[in-house]
Amino acid sequence: MRFFRSEDAYQRYEVAHPHHGEALSLPTLWALSQAWYHDRLSPAYRSRTVAQVEAIFQSLGLSSAFWQLGYSGEIPQK
């Protein structure tokens, strides 16, 4: 994870380095962390399925190819 002071700093970095991921604003990152970790300490917590993870991404507008996990099977639950 890399943090940039501004959009301009991010754009300069992108020109100098190959694209390896996705840029998120701080509000989107905060919303993702809340959706991802809100129930993590619950005794009833279970790992999410790929479909559930992709639904979280979609709900936050994260829909580019980077956020599509491309896995058709189920991940075994712990």
Nearest CA-CA partner of 21 in 64, 56, 66, 62: 66
Tokens of 75: 């991940």
| Per-residue model confidence (pLDDT) at position 20 | 72
Q: 67-77 pLDDT, tens per residue?
A: 998 765 555 55
Q: 29-59 pLDDT, tens per residue?
A: 999 999 999 999 999 999 999 999 999 999 9
- Please tell me the least confidently modeled range out of 8-17, 24-33, 63-72: 63-72
Per-residue pLDDT, averaged over 12-32, amounts to 88
Is the Cβ–Cβ distance between 65 and 20 less than 8 Å? no
Instruction: Name the one residue in this structure whose structure tokens are 């991404």.
Output: 57
Of 69 and 19, more confident: 69
Nearest CA-CA partner of 78 in 43, 53, 54: 43
Sorted by where each begins, the domain ranges of the chain are 24-78
